[in-house]
């Protein structure tokens, strides 16, 4: 399961916080699916996302692909 956020609204990384966030979503489907579930791993967060424009069209051509 993945929760995401924008502009500093980071999702929680503890079980109680995750349940609270899921319970606050517009639909209760995710909350109902996880409220009694046993986690497969410890929750963890990732905040190192980067947006980069890559100019693949400027790479040298190394041959023609069929």
The owner of tokens 């410890």 is 42
Phi/psi region, residue 62 (left: phi>0; alpha: psi -120 to 50; beta: rest), is alpha
The owner of tokens 């579930």 is 37
On whether the pTM is more than 0.85, the answer is no
In this predicted structure, what is the pLDDT of residue 49?
64
CA distances from residue 20 to 26, 54, 59 in whole angstroms, order as listed: 12, 38, 47
Tokens at 64, concatenated = 């023609």
In this predicted structure, what is the pLDDT of residue 63?
57
Dist. CA 44–CA 34, nearest whole Å: 16
- Per-residue pLDDT of the chain in tens (66 residues, 90 and over written 9): 888 888 888 889 999 999 999 999 999 999 999 999 998 999 888 876 677 888 888 887 765 554
In this predicted structure, what is the pLDDT of residue 65?
58
Q: Are the C-beta atoms of residues 23 and 16 closer than 8 Å to each other?
A: no
């Amino acid at each position: 399961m993945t929760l995401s956020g924008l502009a500093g609204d980071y999702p929680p990384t503890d079980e109680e916080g995750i349940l609270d966030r899921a319970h606050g979503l517009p639909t209760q489907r995710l909350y109902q699916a996880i409220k009694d579930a046993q986690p497969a791993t410890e929750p963890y967060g990732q905040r190192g996302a980067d947006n980069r424009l890559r100019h693949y069209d400027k790479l040298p051509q190394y041959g023609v692909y069929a």
